[in-house]
Amino acid sequence: MNSYIVDIFANVSLMALVATVLIAIIIEAVKTTRPIAVYYVSLAGLTTAGFFSFLNFETETQSFGGMIRHGGYANFFNVLFCITAILVAIIARNYFEKKRYNRGEFYILLLFAVIGMMLIASANDLIILFLGIELMSICLYVLAGIVRVKEHATEAALKYFLLGAFSTGFLLYGIALIYGTVGTTNLMLIRNVFAVVSTNYLFLLGAGLLIVGLSFKAAAVPFHMWAPDVYEGSSTPVTAFMSTAAKAAAFTAFITIFIRTFDFFGGRINEAIAIIAAASMIFGNIAAIGQSNIKRMLAYSSIAHAGYMLIGIASGSIEGQVGVMFYLVAYTFMNVGAFAIVAIIENEEEKNLQLDDYLGLHQTQPVLSALMAIFMFALSGIPPFAGFFGKYFVFYSAIKSNLTWLAVIGVLTSFISAYYYIRIVALMYFRENKTASSIKIAHLQIIVVIICAVLTLFFGLFPSSIVQIAQRFF
């Protein structure tokens, strides 16, 4: 009994979030007309969980019979998940109030999704990893269609659910094959016998199915088909959460399995990941050029960024691992900031989502235009912003692992991305605003955008602040 108490205290950040979501459910049941109470409780719980994760940063230990790891690597991502959820919750409150659809269950689902993400980051067993992925995914399916009166949201949720359930089959079958080959689902035990089973065809097939399942979650080509429609149909704060925290959770699973457990360096599995990375970069960037809706454009660019991050996974080196961790931090703040501005500009009738709606924006909203320009430059990989070093680290890892061709594709496709990102800047600054519309900006929303912009610049100027932390875990 005492050992379980010790395990609970060892996972205090996760338990704090579980307690928070139970309190939030009770408040929502008692005060159905007061979602603001659930909002504040959620912020308090996320802040507490993030704080405890930060306190236990240094030591990495195991609990619950070796099924969960905490500290170090897991806490690095737990802090990122909590910060992302806090930023999205702040954006969502004003967004849904503007649309007169503020509901407490949004924040409850957000908390449950973060719990799932924390389980993914902490998993030392394939079963825990699967539970975390499914808890996160189910919450995202509901969040996609949370505005039930919105037809596109219902369509987005249904598409996401059907394709997500399809990908779950691949993931679970891959776990079953690996268990049948090795006789365990514990990642540490699998790592110890990896050299023996790495040439077994059933084991390789299981690893391949895991790639398929996780590629669905990361929206990588050719498993990306849900992303554009779901990103466009979902409410903008939900889209921001999917494109950042959910993607970070998927790549946390990639790192846990294909870098910290398996070592397929130079093998067929890494070649398959490299091909998926190349296809994602090429297709995502080319498809984004022809988009007229800004959320669809950011959706296709998200596919391309998944390709860039997969370069680090394919390299299988320490540099690639650290590069992916840095990229995820940079991408989170760049994308949350961009979607926060989209949420501010979007009006009650879900208009102002076309690229032409940004014509001459600097004339009426000079601050928003300047901040949006920062995020567009950062996403395209222009220095001195964090996006530049994110790409630099993964390209460097590819070259060092003799995947120079992959780095070349990454550089060339980055030039393509500069076109559609800088096009938005050109529309804001070099075109005349013909139909000026009033934009109401909440103080907390603009604070979130400014925080994201400052961190995007800070991590670009001082990339070692993240790199040195990431290097401790490998």
Q: How confident is the model at residue 307 (pLDDT cuts 50, 70, 90)?
A: very high
Q: How confident is the model at residue 212 (pLDDT cuts 50, 70, 90)?
A: very high
Tokens (6 digits) for 334:
């760049």
Q: How confident is the model at residue 349 (pLDDT cuts 50, 70, 90)?
A: low
pTM of the model: 0.93
Average pLDDT over residues 201-224: 90
* Cα separation values, 297 from 225, 285, 328, 470, Å: 14, 9, 19, 31
Supply the mean pLDDT for the chain. Answer: 87
pLDDT at 434: 58
Which amino acid appears at position 150 of this protein?
K
Distance CA 295, CA 355 (A): 9
What is the four-CA torsion angle of 224, 228, 231, 232, rounded to 10 degrees? -170
Is residue 10 over pLDDT 80?
Answer: no
- The 10s digit of each residue's pLDDT in 214-230 is 999 998 988 888 888 89
Is residue 45 over pLDDT 90?
Answer: yes
* Cα separation values, 256 from 43, 124, 174, 319, Å: 28, 8, 15, 15
pLDDT at 443: 81
Is residue 82 over pLDDT 90?
Answer: yes
Q: What are the residues whose beta carbons fall under 8 Å from the beta carbon of 27, sequence distance 6 or more?
A: 34, 37, 38, 41, 104
pLDDT at 474: 59
State how far Cα 252 lies from the chain centre: 9
Bond from prior residue into 366 cis (ω within 30 degrees of 0): no
Which residue in 138, 9, 127, 132 sits closest to 63, CA to CA?
9
Distance CA 277, CA 273 (A): 6
